[in-house]
Amino acid sequence: MTEVQIKNFSAGSGRPFVLVAGPCVIEDYTGVMQIARSLKEITKRLDIPFIFKASYDKANRTSIDSFRGPGIKQGLEILSEIGLELDVAVMSDVHSPSEAELAAEVLDVLQIPAFLCRQTDLIVAAARTNRPLNIKKGQFLAPWDMDHVAKKARSAGNPQVLLTERGASFGYNNLVADFRSIPIMQSLGCPVIFDATHSVQLPGGAGGASAGQRQFAPILAKAAIAAGADGLFLEVHPEPDKALSDGPNSIRLDELEPLLNQLKAINNALIKPERNP
């Protein structure tokens, strides 16, 4: 497996797992900075490698009236300040080839959204920035199909590829997580992140917006770590019911640290002790 270097840590190097966390979208500067600072403090206490993620533009919202974020210019300015002030890695979605180079000036990791994971020009443009990529598996793809996706990035000379499992379409407005996908995608040579909060999303389940079942996200997160995931993706918000995007499947910020403690215990149980020579 290719280790992916992100600032001062590696994903896919074994334990501990990497945490990708933050609100779905940048709602305002003050709020997103407070969330990032809290996440930095929690992960520092628990010694968990951390990537802060928030979208500057949610281009795939259900409704034309849905909040999309501040846009690329203001959003990247905010993410740059978070990265510099808190000394954390930052990640956000890119939606078009023209965005990739500009986003790479700020972001430590470029994320390819699930709906766009087969867009060759986007993946190649993102890969050519030489930033690590986090490519989300489309809800419409089998895990082994991501081999072709990863090869597109590698063809551009960039082996720094993370793959993220985020559930597969399972009938109307529902997703299902298949934990076989974790070792299958790892066998493609990429570290695998499990997105526990998007996996409990109910796409379009609220009519003009997506619904979700956030109460099941911790269960899926624990199962993913037990299955050997290299990292977790969790959307986190202080008041999920007031979040402007993906609130129904987001974890409350004040419930995160107890969950991470449980996840670390599971993770530690999987670590084989070193033998004395």
pLDDT band at 246 (very low <50, low <70, confident <90, very high): confident
Predicted pLDDT of residue 61: 57
- The mean per-residue pLDDT over the stretch 45-50 comes to 96
Predicted pLDDT of residue 263: 97
**Dihedral (C-alpha) 40, 45, 51, 55: value to the nearest 10 degrees?**
-40
User: pLDDT exceeding 90 applies to what percent of the chain?
Assistant: 79
Q: Could you tell me the pTM of the whole model? A: 0.92
Residue 265 lies in a domain: yes
Residue 7 lies in a domain: no
Contacts of 17 (CB under 8 A, 6+ apart): 48, 49, 225, 229, 230, 231, 232, 263, 267
Contacts of 113 (CB under 8 A, 6+ apart): 59, 60, 93, 95, 136
Residue ranges making up the domain that contains 125 = 17-270
Residue 190 lies in a domain: yes
Predicted pLDDT of residue 14: 72
Structure tokens at 205: 């389940």
User: Cα(66)–Cα(252) distance, rounded to whole angstroms?
Assistant: 21
Residue 180 lies in a domain: yes
User: Cα(17)–Cα(10) distance, rounded to whole angstroms?
Assistant: 10
Q: What is the CATH number of the domain that holds 207?
A: 3.20.20.70
Burial of 46 (C-beta count, 10 Å sphere; 0-12/13-18/19+): middle
Predicted pLDDT of residue 275: 45
Residue 4 lies in a domain: no
Give the amino acid at 132: P
Contact (Cβ atoms closer than 8 angstroms) between residue 26 and residue 32: yes
Preceding amide of 16 cis, omega within 30: yes
User: pLDDT exceeding 70 applies to what percent of the chain?
Assistant: 93
Q: How many structural domains compose the chain?
A: 1
The residues facing 51 across adjacent strands are 20, 89
Structure tokens at 48: 């968990």
Lowest mean pLDDT among 58-62, 209-213, 273-277: 273-277
User: Cα(117)–Cα(138) distance, rounded to whole angstroms?
Assistant: 6
pLDDT band at 277 (very low <50, low <70, confident <90, very high): very low
pLDDT band at 56 (very low <50, low <70, confident <90, very high): very high
* pLDDT tens sequence across 8-42: 899 997 768 999 999 999 999 999 999 999 999 99
Predicted pLDDT of residue 211: 76
Residue 1 lies in a domain: no
Residue 261 lies in a domain: yes
Contact (Cβ atoms closer than 8 angstroms) between residue 181 and residue 199: no
Predicted pLDDT of residue 63: 64
Mean confidence (pLDDT) of the chain: 92
pLDDT over 60 (residue 115) = yes
- The mean per-residue pLDDT over the stretch 84-103 comes to 96
* pLDDT tens sequence across 263-273: 999 999 987 55
Residue with the larger pLDDT of the pair 44 and 61: 44
**27 Rama class: left (phi>0) / alpha (psi -120 to 50) / beta:** alpha
Residue 8 lies in a domain: no
